[in-house]
Chain A
Amino acid sequence: MTAGDAHARARWARRGDIALRVVAAVPLGYATASLWAMAIARLLPGDRAEASVTAALIALALCAIAAMWAFAARSGWQAIWTLAIAAGIAAAIAWISIDATGRL
């Protein structure tokens, strides 16, 4: 294997890594923020409309934080699985809560 091949392989590996991070940052990041918006809206006490507005305000910041994390993570795969776990936790909270007490 020549040095040129190794260089080209490293370049493709880097591109694949960036593609994974973009997937983690944009669709997955939005999904994670949205699921946390649902979880927070369920967890906050008091008036439902107020809880929803507060959760949406927080979720906008979560979108940006998720995108930053997607690029700060050690690898693209790490970005994907960490965000997927975060999304899963939020989904579980929202689902259990809605199942238990229902929506308005």
Chain B
Amino acid sequence: MSKGFRQSQAFLHTWSGLLLGWILFLVFVAGTIAFWREGLNRWMRPEIARVEQPMRVLAGSQAFLTGKAPDAKSWIIPVATERSPGAQVFWVPQPKPGEERGRRGRRGRGDTQALIGADGQVAQARETRGGEFFYRFHFDLHYMPVIWARWLVGFATMMMLVAIVSGIVTHKKIFRDFFTLRRAKGQRSWLDGHNATAVLALPFHLMITYTGLVTLMAMLMPWAVVANYADQKTVFATLFPTAAAVERTGRPAPLVDLRRIAADAERRLGAPASFIEVSDPADAAARVSVSQSASSMLSSRTPRLTYDGVTGRLVWRSPPPGAAAETAGAMIGLHAGRFAEDGGRWLYFLCGIAGTLMVASGLVLWTVKRRERLPDPSRPHFGFRLVERLNVAVIGGFPLAIACFFWANRLLPVTLGARADWEIHVLFIAWAIAAVTAFVVRPARVWPALFATTGVLLVALPVYDVVATERGLFASLAIGDLMIAGIGATIVVFGLAFLLLARRVARHRPAAKHVRNPRAVTASKVLEPAE
């Protein structure tokens, strides 16, 4: 590869990584945490008992919905597992004449869903989004229309792909540098750290970025479909086939026992079921569709079975997808990692941390590299200050905001209206305070302050759990609930890491400025060889 090519890609790497790097950091953090979303869904509802008999939850869900929403257009019932807090059921009311079909928006969410606990009754639990918040924030962000957020995240992801590939091209000594870690050498150390976290999990970074684009493919790249189909509905019917719709008859008929359907579906699929959707539940035309669990296979396009809701007869079975659809489904499955057992989740989680550190160290490296070349280091130019402060606000502030989110989950009164929303508001309020501080106070003081506060809050959290809840670390270990105990322990480890980081940053004294050859400075200003 020619020197010119590598230099051009070094420039591209620097800027494609920087410009949306802060969004990438948020996406990486939220996505990494979301690998434990089922665990967090339980951890954030400490009053809920662990599910021992999933079928009991299913029977309870059916009984609840039969009483609550017999005339609904459809019910959606997730099949509870030992990992889930129960079954978060929801129903879609019959559209009133003149009303738009369905009611899917944020409004009125509370009155069309309920959490059915381990005993089959509506769970008496604090209102929270739990781990689902991180999952949605990962691609929907918050406080903004979902479609904008997805385009923004999609665009940032494409920048990430460009940054990764151009980073590889730039990197001529990829293996030698990987085994090089120069400690306490200023810029060299940052560069080595950036390289190590990037190269260590490089296959993961490439995979997660490309498959992330695939999850948004229908939105980002609809043109391949447009070329072949005049009506996009046709292709969706081909790619995501469903049983033929039946007209509501108006004749009431009792619904078959969903446990029987689930057991039959699991026998036919040879794998656990994950979602049960019932259309026109109390009608003679009721249909029950069962999807296979994504934990049982790589592809996210899981097979579906549809039953007659009155007789319980199998009426439809999804055809196997074509090779390309299966490939796309496998890519999405690989991205979400739902197939992975605990060991695999840990691998995903650790690689996600490596990705987060790669983005963070890259952002910091941008300032470290330029600081020495500033004409007057005491009065840096606007761009430099902006990047420096944004780094503090995002890399230092967002973890603190998450720690506050967890504390809000523990401390907000259970009776508070819109409590789940308030947990999230607390996260953003804490982050806003951290961000304002980052822009007002000198970075050298804010970095350790934010890290230390985050560390203290995280370490104190499991201590609070031991004292104030029945699901503390030791109680969870005693009943063999390794997921809850593991989350508590992980939070402590993260808290300690943040405290160490705070101490390290607080003691850091920048190396004495050596005067460099001014001509060399201007020459190297033009391009950014990242070697």
**Chain A residues within 8 Å of B, Cβ to Cβ:** 14, 33-35, 37-42, 47-57, 59-61, 63-64, 67-68, 71-72, 94, 98, 103-104
Within 8 Å CB of A55, what residues of B?
224, 227
User: Chain B: which residue is nearest A40 at the CB level?
Assistant: B224
Q: How far is the CA of A71 from the CA of B10 in the complex (A)?
A: 10
Residues of B contacting A64 with CB < 8 Å? 158, 161-162, 165
Q: Which of B211-253 contact A (CB under 8 A)?
A: 213-214, 217, 220-231, 234-235, 238-239
**Cβ of A61: which chain B residues have Cβ within 8 Å of it?**
210
Asked if B325 lies at the interface with its beta carbon under 8 angstroms from chain A, I say yes
The residues in B between 408 and 448 inclusive whose CB is less than 8 angstroms from any CB of A are: none
Q: Is B35 on the interface with A (CB-CB < 8 A)?
A: no
How far, in whole Å, are A40 and B223 apart by their CA atoms in the complex?
10
Q: Are A50 and B224 in contact (CB under 8 A)?
A: no
Chain A residues within an 8 Å CB radius of B520 = none
Q: Determine if B12 is an interface residue (Cβ-Cβ < 8 Å).
A: yes
From B158, B226, B325, contact of A38 by CB (8 A): B226
- 1/0 per residue B1-31: CB within 8 Å of A? 0000100110110001000000000000000
Give A60 Cβ to nearest chain B Cβ, in Å.
Answer: 5
**Secondary structure class of chain B's binding surface, majority of residues:** helix
Mask: chain B, 157-195; 1 = CB below 8 Å from A; 0 = not:
010011001100100000000000000000000000000
7 tightest Cβ-Cβ pairs between the two chains A and B: A38-B227, A55-B224, A56-B224, A37-B224, A53-B324, A41-B224, A41-B227
Query: A interface, by DSSP: helix, strand, loop or mixed?
Result: helix
- From 242 to 299 in chain B, residues with beta carbon under 8 angstroms from any chain A beta carbon are none
Interface-centre pick from B9, B210, B223, B331 (highest chain A CB count, 10 A): B223
B323 at the interface (CB under 8 A from A): yes
| Chain A residues, CB < 8 A from B210 | 60-61
Contact, CB under 8 Å: B228 / A54: no
One of B16, B224, B231, B234 near A53 (C-beta < 8 A): B224
Q: Which residues on the B side are within 8 Å of A68 (C-beta)?
A: 9, 12, 162, 165-166, 169
Please list 6 pairs of residues, one from A and one from B, whose beta carbons are closer than 8 Å in the complex, sorted by A's number.
A38-B223, A40-B224, A49-B238, A53-B327, A64-B158, A71-B11
| Cα separation A80 to B106 with both chains bound (whole Å) | 44
- Within the complex, the shortest CB–CB distance from A57 to chain B, in Å, comes to 6
Contact (Cβ within 8 A) B228 A104: yes
B325 to chain A, nearest CB (A): 6
> Which B residues are closer than 8 A to A by beta carbons?
5, 8-9, 11-12, 16, 158, 161-162, 165-166, 169, 210, 213-214, 217, 220-231, 234-235, 238-239, 322-325, 327-328, 331, 526
Which A residues are in CB contact (< 8 Å) with B213? 60
Question: Across the two chains, which residue of chain A brings its CB closest to B220?
Answer: A60
Are A57's CB and B223's CB within 8 A? Answer: no
> Looking at the complex, which one of A34, A35, A39, A50 makes contact with B324 (CB distance below 8 Å)?
A50
Contacting B325 at CB < 8 Å: which of A50, A60, A94, A104?
A50
Q: Is the CB of B221 within 8 A of A59?
A: yes
Q: Which residue of A lies closest to B327 (CB)?
A: A57
Contact partner of B229 (CB less than 8 A), chosen from A48, A56, A72, is A48
Chain B nearest CB, measured from A32 CB (Å): 11
Asked whether, in the complex, the Cβ of A50 is within 8 Å of the Cβ of B322, the reply is: yes
Please, how many angstroms separate the alpha-carbon atoms of A40 and B224 in the complex? 8
Point out the residues of chain B lying under 8 angstroms from A57, CB to CB: 214, 217, 324, 327-328, 331
Q: Tell me the minimal C-beta distance from A49 to chain B in angstroms.
A: 4
Bound complex: CA A98 to CA B322 (Å): 23
Complex CA gap A28/B231 in Å reads 26
Taking CB as reference atom, which chain A residue is nearest B210? A60
B98 to chain A, nearest CB (A): 33
The answer on a CB contact under 8 Å between B223 and A35 is yes
Given contacts A64-B165, A67-B12, A71-B12, contact A49 B223 (CB under 8 A): no
User: For residue A42, which residues in chain B have a CB less than 8 angstroms away from its CB?
Assistant: 227-228
**Cross-chain contact of B9 among A39, A71, A94 (Cβ < 8 A):** A71
**If the complex has contacts A57-B214, A57-B328, A104-B230, are A52 and B12 also in contact, measured as CB distance less than 8 A?**
no
B223 CB contact (under 8 Å) in A34, A71, A72: A34
CA distance A14 to B9 in the complex (A): 16
Q: Are A103 and B161 in contact, with the CB atoms below 8 A?
A: no
Residues on the B chain within 8 Å of A56, using CB: 217, 221-225, 328
Q: Separation in Å of the B189 CB from the closest CB of chain A?
A: 28
Are B324 and A98 touching (Cβ within 8 A)?
A: no
Which residue on B lies nearest to A11, using beta carbons? B526
Q: Which among B5, B165, B226, B323 has the greatest number of chain A C-beta atoms within 10 A?
A: B226
Residues of A within 8 A of B11 (CB): 71
Complex CA–CA separation, A63 to B226 (angstroms): 18
The interface residues of chain B lying within 8 Å CB-to-CB of A50 are: 322-325
Complexed CA–CA distance, A57 and B325 (Å): 10
Select from chain A the residue with minimum beta-carbon distance to B216.
A60
| Min CB–CB distance A40 → chain B (angstroms) | 7
Nearest B residue to A94, CB-CB:
B227
Q: Which of A34, A52, A60 contacts B228 (CB 8 A)?
A: A52
Chain A nearest CB: distance from B170 CB in Å?
11
CB pair B217 A60 closer than 8 Å = yes
**B224 contacts A103, C-beta separation under 8 Å:** no
In the complex, the chain A residue whose C-beta lies closest to that of B237 is A49
Give Cα distance in the complex from A47 to B235, angstroms: 11
Known: A63-B158, A68-B162. A104 touches B229 (CB 8 A): yes
Question: B324, A59: Cβ atoms under 8 Å?
Answer: no
Tell me which residues across on chain B come within 8 A of A39, comparing CB atoms: 227
CA–CA, A16 and B12, complex, Å: 16
Asked if B227 and A98 sit within 8 Å, CB to CB, the answer is yes
Q: Which of B5, B16, B162, B224 has the most CB of A within 10 A?
A: B224
